[in-house]
Structure 1
Amino acid sequence: MTFPVLLSIDQGTTSSRAVVYDASTFAVLGAAQQEIEQHYPHDGWVEHEPEDIWYSVARTVREALAKAGHDPKSVAAVGITNQRETVVVWDRATGRPVHRAIVWQDRRTTDFCRTRAADQPALAAKTGLVLDPYFSGTKLHWLFARDSELAARAARGELACGTIDTFLIWRLTAGRAHATDATNASRTLLFNIHTLQWDDELLSYFGVPRAALPDVKPSVAEFGTTKGLDFLPDGVPIRGVAGDQQAALFGQGCFNPGEAKCTYGTGAFYLLHTGDVAVASRSKLLTTVAAMTDSRPKYALEGAVFIAGAAVQWLRDGLRLFASAADVERLAHASNPSEPVSFVPGFVGLGAPHWVPEARGVIFGLTRATTAADLGRAALEGVAFQVADLIEAAEQDARGDRSFPGGERAGTGPLRVDGGMANNDWFLQFQADALGRPVARASQSESTALGAGFLAAVGAGLTDQPALGKVVAGATHFEPKLPAAARAAKLAVWRKAVRAVVAFYAGGA
């Protein structure tokens, strides 16, 4: 078979995936996935070996094309999506990393952020972000501040740095392209989201040399062509790049102001599209760049739950309560609803709207009658409640910004959802109950990879947004069933638990 196909590379926190799509229907022709090892050298530190990431990408691309039954020469374009704030630094001459990748979940820069809390308003005005260990600029500051030789080499242009998309583009193009897209750049604390440029004041603040940074392009652009690979021929164009959550927003067909999605992966990420308006949050949410199909800026409000699917993984791997992540749905069904267990899964801190990096996971209400089923149910509820808090905050921000014409539509439609946990019917029903509004599961649960494929297809001239809107039509809906009074009571218990966690770890911050 030689008809053209699209290749999506989806490099995530716990695994790498490659998906081959039919270039006209976006049907999945072949897919492969490989887990990557997490490294935890100290409490709160999370790292990846960049070479492990690269090898996993190469392997999954080979496997996906083989499963699709396609010659690599039939790939019309490549799309890349990635874990966003994870950062890599490598030697330009050799292409070899000089340090493990520091993962977005890593909290080693907590003290740096706390001691500079007064700078938060000025940083947010340019970046739309909060000063938190989550973001790449703090991680690069840590690397260069502790090693003056690395800093000097970076300033001389001997080192290159970037988020995972940048590292993969470099490797795919044999070092001929050092590039990123605006969605990934907007997650670094080094990028002015209003000018869409690296900002000299921010670079100076974090001690990051401009010479080490990639070129920034729209999400649909020419990111180079493949060269020197044993799994793809030379000359395959890379035409679409976006950070995972912005790719999922695009893959869910949320092209218009007021449309929103939540992706449940390792973490849970809610994005509300705000069109060409960069809505400033009053609720400690993030203002971020949405996928751009041309040079015109697009924005979104975002809230992040750092631990979602990772809570289920902990129950599986840490407590060994079940063998497969899918088993948690069975446990939730078997749980005793009257068992008063609340689980705040803050293993690596609390994100928006709290931003308490010191926080850790806490379980309330354990009794002698508590079972594994109750813990499974409480973990799922904890994720759903965190998402409900994010959505309430984002919709208040959107409705309160008079410059945002789509604000009045925020919260009026179903929440579009995707990701691994979206396959859990019990969880999505509880999410609908916690929100008091419908939840719509995408027909393709992996909207992140699909979004990268969409962007690559637009970049290759194979489709446009109106046509893509038809591709994503059709979803499974979950209607809220919980009475309003019961919902309010459950949310009150949850928020009391969160306040206790914040008070314990941050002195009531």
Structure 2
Amino acid sequence: MRQTYLLAIDQSTQGTKGMLFDAEGQLTARCDRSHAQHIDDRGWVEHDPEEIYRNTVAVVRDVVERAGIDKNQVAAVGISNQRETAVVWDRESGRPVYNAIVWQCARGEQICEEIRAAGYAERVRESTGLPLSPYFSAAKIAWVLRNVDGVEERARAGGVCCGTVDSWLLYRLTGGKTYATDYSNASRTQLFNLRALSWDPELCKLFGIPLDCMARVRGSDEWYGDTDFEGFFDRPVPILAVLGDSHGALFGQDCREPGLVKATYGTGSSVMLNTGDDLIVSQSGLVTSLAWCMQGKVQYVLEGNINYTGSVIGWLKNDLQLVQTVRQAHELAAAANPLDQTYFVPAFTGLGAPYWDSAATGLFTGITRLTGRAEMVRAGVDCIAYQVADIVNLMREESGLAIRELRVDGGPTESTYLMQRQSDILGIPVCVPRWQELSGMGAAYAAGISAGIYDREAIFSRMERTAYERGMPAEQSEALYRGWKRAVQTALRHG
């Protein structure tokens, strides 16, 4: 019988992955291409959208050739993408008018302050489930319209497209035939009304973004057009799924029922809890988004986003030069003196959920004569586990749902030390899947189900996970967590 493959494109902050999954849902091949990070002395972060598109086309060629398959065996495509990153491009030429403004970039702060001063912050949160913040796409798009010559006028005339990376890729891959986004990405723009399930005209006007410039919103498992990847395929293949990367990981982790929660560890981290039909508006700094819309039905999530988790290890390595490799950081953490009480709060650009204090500054605290290189490195590694615990504990309180385990993915989950520490601090099992490419896997599985290649239940029954159980007394883990909370309060006071 002829084998069939699903192609996943996972376009992330650091690069683009191409992955092939076979008819049993197993990962067959993966290829990666990184793109440049453009960061100036103001801390503004940009990507070149054209480079991202070129890498997307190239990585598809790479992975098909590496797998050694007949490219006509690829049945469908699923796309997952970095969220909140904003792209504005010319509707006719399909060329960007400016670089993509990355989710990490806070240049829209002044625009948000103007809206806050006008008394609309609560209106924004009530409609979108998101606190008014330059982290989300709306202020980034507004900044481009205000600051790039001629773009605002062209936007009013309907000559530009304003969207997230998924809509940019869809537009280019389909030769301009598809200008669309899915519900998960739309819910992260700060322009989408979670109750009406449509763009909010008042908020678009508030940010100065013409409604006609926004993409059509489609279900996460719908047809998004066909592509031949610049002539690489002999015949066009359908794009049958689009999900924001964290939502793709939620689906790939089989968190399809209320009460199931996952954490994706990356440059930053996303912790996401499926709340089903319930739209829960957080009172403590979490955000509300859409998980997806599949088979015509939406599900909601509570989410906490952490700006600096895996990137803390990079900082220990590249800037402080305390370690030479990421692996060494985790080895040193495991070997550190257990009596040392050093904490590190990674508030490089303020603190996100659940604190939302953009003025907070980073610090080491609790340093004594017991503290050496290993102990400082451990503090950097441990801050990842503490920040994730902050989010999970708040989710439990605000949702009223029983959270019995944490499903995790991302490169840092390869660390036995970190995963054990995470379970110790949370007091629940931490479950690591066999495969780490969960964002792309979720998009591929959604596309495969949409194409009728995968059975919705059977495909998830094959997942294999390793579970880490709490290994320290509850009193000890609770004392460690209390120390973390004190350290955070010190960072907030010194911001």
TM-score for both structures, normalised by structure 1 = 0.93
SS in 1 for 2:383: helix
Q: Alpha-carbon deviation of 1:115?
A: 4.7
Paired residues of 1:251 and 1:452 also in contact (CA < 8 A): yes
Q: Distance in 2 between matches of 1:318 and 1:175?
A: 43
Match for residue 487 of structure 2? 497
Q: Distance in 1 between matches of 2:489 and 2:469?
A: 29
Match for residue 49 of structure 1? 48
Q: Distance in 2 between matches of 1:2 and 1:95?
A: 37
Match for residue 99 of structure 2? 100
Report matched runs for 1:78-477 at 5 Å.
78-117=77-116, 118-147=119-148, 149-227=150-228, 229-367=230-368, 370-399=371-400, 407=401, 410-411=402-403, 413-472=404-463, 474-477=464-467
Q: Distance in 1 between matches of 2:235 and 2:104?
A: 35
Paired residues of 1:428 and 1:478 also in contact (CA < 8 A): yes
The one-letter amino acid of 1:450's match is M
Tell me the percent identity: 39
Alpha-carbon spacing, 1:236–1:360, altered in 2? closer, same or farther (3 Å): farther
Q: Distance in 2 between matches of 1:211 and 1:499?
A: 44
Bigger mean CA offset, 117-126 vs 490-499: 117-126
Q: Distance in 2 between matches of 1:16 and 1:504?
A: 38
Q: Distance in 2 between matches of 1:279 and 1:131?
A: 17
Match for residue 16 of structure 2? 16
Q: Distance in 1 between matches of 2:86 and 2:178?
A: 17
1:32-57 Cα shifts (integer Å, max 9, x gaps):
11222211123331111112212222
Q: Distance in 2 between matches of 1:295 and 1:385?
A: 37
SS in 2 for 1:316: helix
SS in 2 for 1:320: coil
Structure 1 gaps of 5+ residues are 400-406
Paired residues of 2:252 and 2:439 also in contact (CA < 8 A): yes
The one-letter amino acid of 2:18's match is A
Bigger mean CA offset, 259-268 vs 141-150: 141-150
Q: Alpha-carbon deviation of 1:90?
A: 1.0
Alpha-carbon spacing, 1:238–1:375, altered in 2? closer, same or farther (3 Å): same
Match for residue 40 of structure 1? 39
The one-letter amino acid of 1:438's match is P
Q: Distance in 2 between matches of 1:197 and 1:289?
A: 12
Q: Distance in 1 between matches of 2:148 and 2:55?
A: 29
Bigger mean CA offset, 1-10 vs 281-290: 1-10
Aligned CA-pair RMSD: 1.7
Paired residues of 2:361 and 2:494 also in contact (CA < 8 A): no
Q: Alpha-carbon deviation of 1:148?
A: 6.1
Paired residues of 2:49 and 2:87 also in contact (CA < 8 A): yes
Bigger mean CA offset, 26-35 vs 369-378: 369-378
The one-letter amino acid of 2:311's match is A
Match for residue 72 of structure 1? 71
Q: Distance in 2 between matches of 1:167 and 1:391?
A: 33
SS in 1 for 2:132: coil
Q: Distance in 1 between matches of 2:208 and 2:235?
A: 37
Q: Distance in 2 between matches of 1:217 and 1:326?
A: 41
TM-score for both structures, normalised by structure 2 = 0.96
1:352-390 Cα shifts (integer Å, max 9, x gaps):
111112334322234566433223211121111011111
Q: Distance in 1 between matches of 2:360 and 2:441?
A: 34
Q: Distance in 1 between matches of 2:229 and 2:280?
A: 43
Q: Alpha-carbon deviation of 1:2?
A: 5.4
Paired residues of 2:344 and 2:362 also in contact (CA < 8 A): yes
* Pair 1:483 & 2:473 matched: yes
1:68-99 Cα shifts (integer Å, max 9, x gaps):
11122211000000110001111122221111
Paired residues of 1:30 and 1:66 also in contact (CA < 8 A): no
Q: Alpha-carbon deviation of 1:254?
A: 0.6
Paired residues of 1:174 and 1:227 also in contact (CA < 8 A): no
1:187-229 Cα shifts (integer Å, max 9, x gaps):
0011111121111011001111122211110100010100461
**What count of residue pairs does the alignment treat as equivalent?**
493
Paired residues of 1:182 and 1:218 also in contact (CA < 8 A): yes
Q: Distance in 2 between matches of 1:227 and 1:144?
A: 32
Q: Distance in 1 between matches of 2:409 and 2:237?
A: 29
1:440-498 Cα shifts (integer Å, max 9, x gaps):
111212211110111111121212321233132x3101111222221221111111111
Bigger mean CA offset, 223-232 vs 287-296: 223-232
SS in 1 for 2:43: coil
Match for residue 402 of structure 1? none
Q: Distance in 1 between matches of 2:321 and 2:190?
A: 38
Q: Alpha-carbon deviation of 1:182?
A: 0.4
Bigger mean CA offset, 252-261 vs 482-491: 482-491
Paired residues of 1:44 and 1:348 also in contact (CA < 8 A): no
Paired residues of 2:80 and 2:440 also in contact (CA < 8 A): yes
The one-letter amino acid of 2:321's match is R
SS in 1 for 2:297: coil
Q: Distance in 2 between matches of 1:293 and 1:59?
A: 30
Q: Alpha-carbon deviation of 1:173?
A: 0.9
Alpha-carbon spacing, 1:232–1:310, altered in 2? closer, same or farther (3 Å): farther
Alpha-carbon spacing, 1:383–1:228, altered in 2? closer, same or farther (3 Å): closer
Q: Alpha-carbon deviation of 1:110?
A: 2.4
The one-letter amino acid of 2:30's match is A
1:424-444 Cα shifts (integer Å, max 9, x gaps):
110000000110111111121
